[in-house]
Structure 1
Amino acid sequence: MPRKHRARRRLAAVLLFWVSPLLTIGALVGLLAAHEMRTAEFQARVLSRYATDLSYSVQPGPSDAILYPQFGPFDVRLGYARLPALLERAQQQNFEIREQSRFSEALMDYSQRGFYPPYPEKSHAGLTLFDCRGETLYSFSYPKHNYETFASIPPVIVQSLLFIENRELLDTDKPMSNPAVDWPRFVKAALTQVGKRLDIEGQSAGGSTLATQLEKYRHSPDGITYSAADKLKQMMSASVRAYQQGPETLEWRRRVVRDYLNSVPLSAAPGHGEVHGLAAGLFVWFNTDFDQVNRALADNSDAAALERGLALRQVLSLLISQRRPSYYLNAGREELHTLADSHIRLLADAGVIDARLRDAALQTRVRFRDWSREPIRHQVDTSKGINAARGRLSSLFGAPLYELDRFDLEAGSPLNGELQRQASEYLLKLADPEFAREAGLYGKYLLNPNDDTTSLRYSLTLFERSPQGNLVRVQTDSTNQPFDINEGSKLELGSTAKLRVLAHYLTVVAELHDRYSGMTATALREVEVMPNDYITHWAIDYLSRNADQNLPDMLEAALDRRYSASPWERFQTGGGLHTFQNFNRDDNRRRPTIREALRHSINLPFIRLFRDLVRYSTYQTPGNAAALLKNDDNPLREQYLRRFADREGRVFLMRFWRKYDGKSPAKQVETFLAGLRQTPVRLAAVHRYLMPEARRVNFDVFMKEQLPDEQFDEKELAKLYDDYGPGRWNLNDQGYIARVHPLELWLLRYRLEHPVASFADAVAASGEERQEVYRWLFNSRHKSARDNRIRVLLEVEAFLDIHERWQRLGYPFSFLVPSLATALGSSGDRPAALAELMGIILNDGVRLPTVRIQDMTFGSGTPYQTVLAQNPDSAVRVMPAEVAQALRGALSEVVSSGTARRLYGSFDSPDHPLVLGGKTGTGDNRIDRFDRFGHMVSSTAVNRTATFVFYLGPDHFGTLTTFVQGEAADDFSFTSSLPVQVLKGMAPLLKPYLEAGASTQCRAPEPALQQASAN
């Protein structure tokens, strides 16, 4: 044999020696791979063991081992991704984390690698509110309808979905199958991507199974796969999730089908928002009932053939559209119809549906919802208590109600659902004249026989004092509208303001007691007090005459001080002279004690008391402000006059800002000119100031357009243009020439030149102009003119101090009207805020938080579960206990022998006498118009209110308000006796809840420590 051939044989032998094992190994690997692809046995064993360590548990206190999701639409919608910010807001508002989920070490590592924590996710969730007994008050679950179990899904829907998306998913011959991987589909998708890289044209194929799609649209950023890494994360997360329950996955695969049908994204629609799931899609897209579709597809009779066919087409249309739902819902409807026809034929060819159903479906055509004629309307419970609780949550988390309703959140409210229902029904019945008569609502100071009871609205808030805070047990009214009289209003509530004045007064007395008690009589006589500071004078005199000097006695003595009830004095207040009247003329010549004035709600003593409080605040300011009124040469006078100019200018700027806010530049000029008495000179002054750069031709056009009947010649227009040009007149002169306020002229020009400026910008830019407008104050020869303006400013400053004091006691608004009329309610109030003041009084001067939400649980049964509850250590003392006790005593006399005496004894039972107290008030809000001689020309009613703020025994308090809106208020003459009578009529309903021990019937159970895991 030639040498050459022997060498070749030896080489072949060597190659065979080495390659044969490799070929064998390769063959074995191929066989194992094929087996694994067919059975998924290896990954089932490995991943199921691995997934058992991916657990979590709920433990007390904030978690030190939790990783919140960041991006996924599902996680954002349910609130999980927003938890860090939401929890921070809640903790800033008196909530604390009582329990929270903690990840195992393995789950923490898994999540940090970017995979999605495995747990049985909720295919529908939302906000649930419970009352104090654990009964459901409000529940919003989205989607509203869904398939609760796999068995409830009509088989034709399951088979159609699998034929379109994932044909081998429910193969029972593969018990360990991985639902995240469909190998033939995956290989085809991979080859497609390789082809794209090589610029080979061909139809794109997707490799996502239903399980992977769930991961994508739930947890991937924007619900989109942006990269191969994203796809691998989805597949890995879906695989681990599938095997967490064990190696066999058939039940989980069925859950995947159910969850997909319940949650597939299907665009969004007006009036509804995001559309998720087949049920919502059928309702929103086609205005079709979900249950009706399911019944039709389950009915195999000939009579229902067309209905079954339409139902199938509607379902198929949604399943097909999930790749481009917004396009198919709007522009691609015809294309969707054609695609549905094609799929119907393919389903029939594959034996998924029979020929009869195919023919019936091909005869139908879906009808899309007409948004204008068939708008989506959701029924929302308008109960005021529920609205207040939802509103509290919305404010707490900074989330609008639409988003809030979709959070995976359970919240406990202190509302008593049964009492809330009973109270609401009672108030609604009062619109019936017969029921109103039975309740005793007709009579003197109440309703007249001809009064329209349907125009009346009633509002009740009832609180229960507890260590946790003031628990809202009832909050309701009879409006059946979103507007909340208790919390959403600013109403003139009349004499209830006297309660704020009295609380303020007694707090000042306690303040003076704290300052001067302990001083000897000699030392007290040496204290320098301003002549008009009557309260300080009285306090020093009292302390110098009473060796005991204890605060309770001093407060009682303060209540027994007397003030004149005479209405014949004119009061310098609010920048002018005002007079006030008593409700009962018989009181005009009396000189009652403050206690008596409160009991019978006499106005003038409280006006004079409030004037003394204003003076007290005035004389507490540094620098002895009153001396400014004595000495015209005091260097501080000019400082005050400058401050007056600044403040007055701001007031007018705000008035003019509101006049033009929200209008286009052209509309602003139009509005200004509409209020101007137009003459050539005035228009010229206005135009040359507002538009100083305007050319002569523009000026001429403007003048002729505004005064079309005026015959202008060239010379006249030229003179007007030159005479009023920039620099010829100062701002005051321009305003005088145009007969408008100079600051209005300035502000309009500023807005035209700075169209996006804010009011704060305008204030900052107008400092010199505000001083210029009031320059005459500094130059006036008349001291009285300057004195008057200093008095106005001193009063305003005093009211800043008073406002701060009132706010500490719960006054809800950002300013008080600087007028003595505030003592009678002119600054407005809210029933809920008055109730808060009553709660402070009942709780011995300690301000407790108002509790509308007691506890909350986010993501119950998920790795993000967090339980929050009110922090009990949030009470703040805002009033001395002795002041609160004195107020309770004075208020009890209002019920026992004053304006609320009709209530006396109504809540007593033989073995349970109840101490009651309160304050009544009537507000008659109207717009009065006067002529130049001060005579009233007209008076138009805005609304009429009557309020009773009360306490019932040691633990309950609240408000009851009667309200008439609009000009209909002119037809009523009721007083605060009306809400007192309504509360009296509700006594049989309320008494069982006020008795000792009754609160235990309405105590929500403490949140149980729930141990949860992903096992």
Structure 2
Amino acid sequence: MRLRIWIATGVISLMLICIAGFEFRYAWLQSKWISDYASRLHYQIGEGESDAIRFPDAGPFNERLGYSAIPKLQPQLQQQGYGVSRQARFSSELIDYAEHGLFLPYREKTQAGLQIFDYRGQPIYQFAYPRFHFNKYEDIPPLLVETLLFIENRHLLDPTLEHANPAVDWPRLASASVAMVVGSLGGSGPSHGASTLATQIEKYRHSFEGRTQTPMDKLRQMASASVRAYSTGPQTLEVRRQLVLDYLNSVPLTAAPGHGEVHGFGDALWVWFAEDIDRFRAGLNGERGLPAQAVALRQALSLIIAQRRPSWYLLDGRAELAELVDSHIRLLASDRRIDDELAEAGLIGVVSFRDWQTQPLHEQIEVNKAVRVTRNQLASMLGRSLYELDRLDMSASSSLDAGLQRAVSEFLQGLADEDTAREVGLLGDTLLSGKQAAEIRYSFTLMERTATGNQVRVQTDTTGLPFDLNQGSKLELGSTAKLRVLTSYLEIIAELHDALADADADTLRTARSEASDPLTRWAAGYLSANPGADLPALLDAALQRRYSASPWEGFATGGGVQHFENFRKEDNRRRPTVQQALQESINLPFVRLLRDVVRYSLHDSVEDADSLLSNDRDPRREAWLQTFADREGRVYLQRFWRRYAGMDEQQRFEQLMDQVQPIAARLSVVYRNLYPQADFETFSTFLVKRVRVPQKPERIERLYEAYRPGKYNLTDQGYIAQIHPLELWLLGYLKRNPQATLNEVLSASAVERQEVYAWLFRTRHTSARNVRIRTMLEREAFDSLHQRWQRVGYPFPHLVPSLGTALGSSGDRPSALAELMGIILNEGRRLEVRRINNLHFAAATPWETRFEPLSLDAKQVLHPEVATALRNALSAVVLDGTGRRLQGVFMTADGEPLAVGGKTGTGDNRIHTMAAGGRVISSEVMNRTGGCHKFCVWA
């Protein structure tokens, strides 16, 4: 009986072993079960944001293509006005599959990258990464397939195994497992990995850092690869052929200077061997003779072997790599994978690596301005470098019109030709000379108002540089500043109308006589004389106010007294209206107009500013002076910090010594401050070395005692040494705290900043305090003015607190000016400026997501009546001002002229040589910004 049981058990065991062996080899059961399971792992694209999607956490492939970044980008893009319009939805089984940490089964891309289209859908930029690859399996040289499988996965393409699971090589897995167990028990013997091509692909694409960290990682790779293999059905031969293609097109092979990461054989051949993939294919196929075939074989083996340790084998370990290639050639020959003739040639063949000195790799800089502009915008939106941006699996639609952009760019570039410049009327008296035509750099921005916002159709310049002149520059544009000043002026007039239009006669009389600023007094006077006047009438009257164009007045501004000039001397004795000053771009009326605007802003933001400025007993003055001391001290400390940045203690000391005259008293006070513990001998040695005039020992002893630490305060030390006391303090602080940051320096110097300005509170001369308080008040007024400018698109974080801002000293950008014109055209409403119309991530993947602009309401940033008044004033510039040459240029299809408004102007950046008293001795133009700064077609 017992014998029968043993026989039955043996038979059953033998049957199970046979079944397992059959299954391991032919995978009949698993192919049916896994393919059925994989058929339920699907997704579909739906409208709006998905609540049934899971994004990958890690993996070089997911990070490079941007799949894992989508959930982080979503709120970031939403803040910029973009929402999800379409996104993938997972089936419940796929959600469960993803939550178990498995890698989703879908047809992964071996080549992807950024694509940009214009608003008509025409492609303007395409980046494919990797750049070179095998398009289909049949393109791969058979010898490359044979070599790869011989080394990595010998039975992968066995045609007799119709349902084979490419994720598992059972004999190899068993051998590797035994080797691992033996090794863990202290034994020795050959060890090798159990990875197939399928699991290697899963590893370097989706595992953390592209590595197998734990046994669980290996199981995850095998399970994911199995499901992926059967996702199209139980037959896997085509899938296995595709695995070979995918592996060769995506295997990582370290990184190279001038190129970055190298993925796939095609890019690796070009980067490491300077070999074209088509030339390599012909060589390995024997089409170029035996020597070329031998070299191609060595190149192929080098890359296949290097995959194990690419950073070593392809850089410092090339000699070791060559030995391994030799041994593999012998193995291939002994296994009859290659013939003896090729083996012999291969063993004497030489692989030439790229010479980085004579064959450097440099990424080509895109010269197309539309591409540059859009890529920079996308990089800024997504927080990516251009290198990272290009490698995202993403397409974007720009608002640009590629055809029009190209035509405008070509036209502007053509203006460098003297004949073309003459033909379009740029040469002549007060214009350009023939030699200057090629020196001009033009910029052009064109926006179109649409239902979804202002669309940028053209944004180009002729710098020939990656720099975007329209959106990235800061230019001194005097005429543009005049328009901004005029906008703020009319905005203030509208505010005064709101405040005073319904006031009674007594209120208007009081405002007219007691108001501290000229604009309030004028508005009250006008409304007193014209009861019931509406806002358009008041704005029109404001444009007819007159200001002197005299350049002979000195203006107390910017912490000193400044003088300004008109472009034409003939204007110096005029007293034009504001409207005339705009039409003819006269400088001094706008300086005086800005002064009135600043006075209004000052009295609007600071209560009883006149008392603060003139009454030395006003209790508020001390706080204002303390604020001045703190700010001024910060400015000096930041300047000194930059001077000594990157230096060690000795270098800082030598730099300071270069500024101190070699006078004994000055050197003594500096040295005793910085080295208070130094003994007399050290001090004496320093002084004898530094002072040119020999010093007697008793004199040195007196100096040592006279300037001992604590004898003089910081201000007196600076005075004796004739250097700024905060510079002396900074070097002492850095000596004690060599690792200090600028923020720490500023925090630690609060007391010292007040100390060095203590004289300001004690001086008998109230004018010194008045000057500084006036500077502070002017800065407050300009801060208030800055808020007005920002509402209408001013792009910079602050204004220069000087009346020179009326002539462009605070700078501006062409793109911001175009936006200002859009506000004026749109009745005072600020529309969103659209440069990117949509972003499409991960197309044809489970994480497909499309972002489109959210519909945002236009913001009313100016009174509609103010916008109308500005539009009329700008139209007058074309009708009867400096832009009159544009009359009749823009026509409708029926030949009717379009209404046009705008502002011309030029601005010189000059170096002035001054004499005592402020007289200009000479003036040299360094560069000039100007031309048709901004024009807008009204209809």
TM range (shorter): over 0.9
Deviation at 1:618, TM superposition (A): 1.0
Q: Which amino acid aligns with 1:894?
A: V
Match status 1:557 vs 2:557:
no
Match status 1:136 vs 2:123:
yes
**In structure 2, how many angstroms separate the alpha carbons of the residues matched to 1:676 and 1:373?**
50
Match status 1:792 vs 2:775:
yes
Q: Is the 8 A contact 2:501 2:532 kept in 1?
A: no
Which residues of 2 match residues 6-17 of structure 1 at below 5 A? 13=1, 15-17=2-4
Q: Is the 8 A contact 1:641 1:790 kept in 2?
A: yes
Q: Is the 8 A contact 1:582 1:604 kept in 2?
A: yes
Q: Which amino acid aligns with 2:484?
A: R
Q: Which amino acid aligns with 2:165?
A: N
Q: Is the 8 A contact 2:903 2:933 kept in 1?
A: yes
Q: Is the 8 A contact 2:251 2:307 kept in 1?
A: yes
Per-residue CA deviation, residues 914-965 of structure 1 (Å, 9 max, x unaligned), is 211111231211333435554556655442211423343247xxxxxxxxxx
**In structure 1, how many angstroms separate the alpha carbons of the residues matched to 2:748 and 2:422?**
61
**In structure 2, how many angstroms separate the alpha carbons of the residues matched to 1:705 and 1:877?**
71
Per-residue CA deviation, residues 59-86 of structure 1 (Å, 9 max, x unaligned), is 1111111111112011111111122212
Match of 1:779 in 2: 762
Match of 2:361 in 1: 376
Q: With structure 1 as the length reference, what TM-score do the two structures score?
A: 0.90
Structural RMSD (CA): 1.9
Which residues of 2 match residues 742-761 of structure 1 at below 5 A? 742-761=725-744
**In structure 2, how many angstroms separate the alpha carbons of the residues matched to 1:374 and 1:466?**
50
**In structure 2, how many angstroms separate the alpha carbons of the residues matched to 1:592 and 1:564?**
7
Which residues of 2 match residues 491-510 of structure 1 at below 5 A? 491-510=475-494
Q: Which residue, 249, 262, 269 being the options, matches 1:275?
A: 262
Per-residue CA deviation, residues 403-432 of structure 1 (Å, 9 max, x unaligned), is 111111111101111111111111222222
Match of 1:332 in 2: 317
**In structure 2, how many angstroms separate the alpha carbons of the residues matched to 1:37 and 1:704?**
92
Match status 1:860 vs 2:843:
yes
Deviation at 1:207, TM superposition (A): 0.6
Match status 1:77 vs 2:61:
no
Match of 2:467 in 1: 483
**In structure 2, how many angstroms separate the alpha carbons of the residues matched to 1:695 and 1:314?**
71
Match status 1:634 vs 2:610:
no
Q: Is the 8 A contact 1:460 1:475 kept in 2?
A: yes
Per-residue CA deviation, residues 615-666 of structure 1 (Å, 9 max, x unaligned), is 0011112431211233222212222222222222223223323333344443
**In structure 2, how many angstroms separate the alpha carbons of the residues matched to 1:949 and 1:906?**
17
More off after superposition, 721-730 vs 658-667: 658-667
Match status 1:367 vs 2:349:
no
1:938 to 1:606, Cα distance in 2 relative to 1, 3 A: closer
**In structure 2, how many angstroms separate the alpha carbons of the residues matched to 1:654 and 1:647?**
11
Q: Is the 8 A contact 1:66 1:101 kept in 2?
A: yes
Match of 2:419 in 1: 434
**In structure 2, how many angstroms separate the alpha carbons of the residues matched to 1:371 and 1:692?**
55
Q: Is the 8 A contact 2:43 2:89 kept in 1?
A: yes
5+ unaligned residues in a row in structure 2: which ranges?
A: none
Q: Which amino acid aligns with 1:693?
A: Q
Q: Is the 8 A contact 1:565 1:590 kept in 2?
A: yes
Secondary structure, counterpart of 1:549 in structure 2: coil
Q: Which residue, 191, 215, 218 being the options, matches 2:178?
A: 191
Secondary structure, counterpart of 2:425 in structure 1: coil
Secondary structure, counterpart of 1:486 in structure 2: helix
More off after superposition, 930-939 vs 259-268: 930-939
**In structure 1, how many angstroms separate the alpha carbons of the residues matched to 2:650 and 2:462?**
44
Match status 1:213 vs 2:200:
yes
Per-residue CA deviation, residues 480-508 of structure 1 (Å, 9 max, x unaligned), is 11122212222211222101101111111
Deviation at 1:729, TM superposition (A): 0.8
Match of 2:7 in 1: 20
Secondary structure, counterpart of 1:725 in structure 2: coil
Q: Which residue, 366, 379, 385 being the options, matches 1:394?
A: 379
5+ unaligned residues in a row in structure 1: which ranges?
A: 1-12, 956-1015
Match status 1:820 vs 2:820:
no
**In structure 1, how many angstroms separate the alpha carbons of the residues matched to 2:263 and 2:158?**
27
Match of 1:721 in 2: 704
1:21 to 1:882, Cα distance in 2 relative to 1, 3 A: farther
**In structure 1, how many angstroms separate the alpha carbons of the residues matched to 2:119 and 2:317?**
51
Deviation at 1:864, TM superposition (A): 0.8
Match of 1:675 in 2: 659
1:458 to 1:226, Cα distance in 2 relative to 1, 3 A: same
Match status 1:624 vs 2:608:
yes
Match of 2:405 in 1: 420
**In structure 2, how many angstroms separate the alpha carbons of the residues matched to 1:718 and 1:870?**
78
Q: Which amino acid aligns with 2:97?
A: Y
1:114 to 1:603, Cα distance in 2 relative to 1, 3 A: same
Q: Is the 8 A contact 2:903 2:935 kept in 1?
A: no
Deviation at 1:905, TM superposition (A): 1.1
**In structure 2, how many angstroms separate the alpha carbons of the residues matched to 1:927 and 1:668?**
32
Q: Which amino acid aligns with 1:734?
A: Q
More off after superposition, 656-665 vs 368-377: 656-665
Q: Which residue, 862, 872, 877 being the options, matches 1:894?
A: 877
Per-residue CA deviation, residues 786-845 of structure 1 (Å, 9 max, x unaligned), is 222221221111111111211222212222111111100111112122222112212222
Which residues of 2 match residues 70-149 of structure 1 at below 5 A? 70-149=57-136
Secondary structure, counterpart of 2:45 in structure 1: strand
Q: Which residue, 572, 596, 618 being the options, matches 2:580?
A: 596
Secondary structure, counterpart of 2:809 in structure 1: coil
Match of 2:47 in 1: 60
Q: Which amino acid aligns with 1:387?
A: R
Per-residue CA deviation, residues 261-284 of structure 1 (Å, 9 max, x unaligned), is 011111111221111111111122
Q: Which amino acid aligns with 1:221?
A: F
Q: Is the 8 A contact 1:699 1:721 kept in 2?
A: yes
Q: Is the 8 A contact 2:479 2:904 kept in 1?
A: yes
Q: Is the 8 A contact 1:166 1:210 kept in 2?
A: yes
Q: Which residue, 321, 326, 339 being the options, matches 1:354?
A: 339
1:155 to 1:539, Cα distance in 2 relative to 1, 3 A: same
Q: Which residue, 846, 850, 854 being the options, matches 1:871?
A: 854
**In structure 2, how many angstroms separate the alpha carbons of the residues matched to 1:912 and 1:352?**
81
**In structure 2, how many angstroms separate the alpha carbons of the residues matched to 1:194 and 1:717?**
82
Match of 1:180 in 2: 167
**In structure 2, how many angstroms separate the alpha carbons of the residues matched to 1:685 and 1:200?**
76
Give the paired residue count.
938
Q: Is the 8 A contact 1:607 1:823 kept in 2?
A: yes
Deviation at 1:528, TM superposition (A): 7.6
Q: Is the 8 A contact 1:493 1:947 kept in 2?
A: no
Q: Which residue, 146, 152, 177 being the options, matches 2:139?
A: 152
Per-residue CA deviation, residues 347-403 of structure 1 (Å, 9 max, x unaligned), is 222232233322322222112222233221111313333222212221212111111
**In structure 2, how many angstroms separate the alpha carbons of the residues matched to 1:702 and 1:483?**
51
Match status 1:810 vs 2:793:
yes
Q: With structure 2 as the length reference, what TM-score do the two structures score?
A: 0.97
Q: Is the 8 A contact 2:818 2:934 kept in 1?
A: yes
Match of 1:732 in 2: 715
Q: Is the 8 A contact 1:564 1:604 kept in 2?
A: yes
Deviation at 1:322, TM superposition (A): 0.3
Q: Which amino acid aligns with 1:89?
A: Q
Q: Which has the higher contact order (CA 8 A, sep 6+)?
A: 1
**In structure 2, how many angstroms separate the alpha carbons of the residues matched to 1:411 and 1:427?**
27
Q: Is the 8 A contact 1:842 1:951 kept in 2?
A: no
More off after superposition, 77-86 vs 100-109: 77-86
Identical aligned residues as a percent: 51
Secondary structure, counterpart of 1:178 in structure 2: coil
Q: Which residue, 10, 15, 27 being the options, matches 1:40?
A: 27
Match of 2:518 in 1: 534
Match of 1:976 in 2: none
1:221 to 1:35, Cα distance in 2 relative to 1, 3 A: same
1:134 to 1:696, Cα distance in 2 relative to 1, 3 A: farther
Q: Which residue, 613, 622, 625 being the options, matches 2:597?
A: 613
Match status 1:251 vs 2:238:
yes
1:768 to 1:445, Cα distance in 2 relative to 1, 3 A: same
Q: Which amino acid aligns with 1:944?
A: R
Q: Which amino acid aligns with 1:539?
A: A
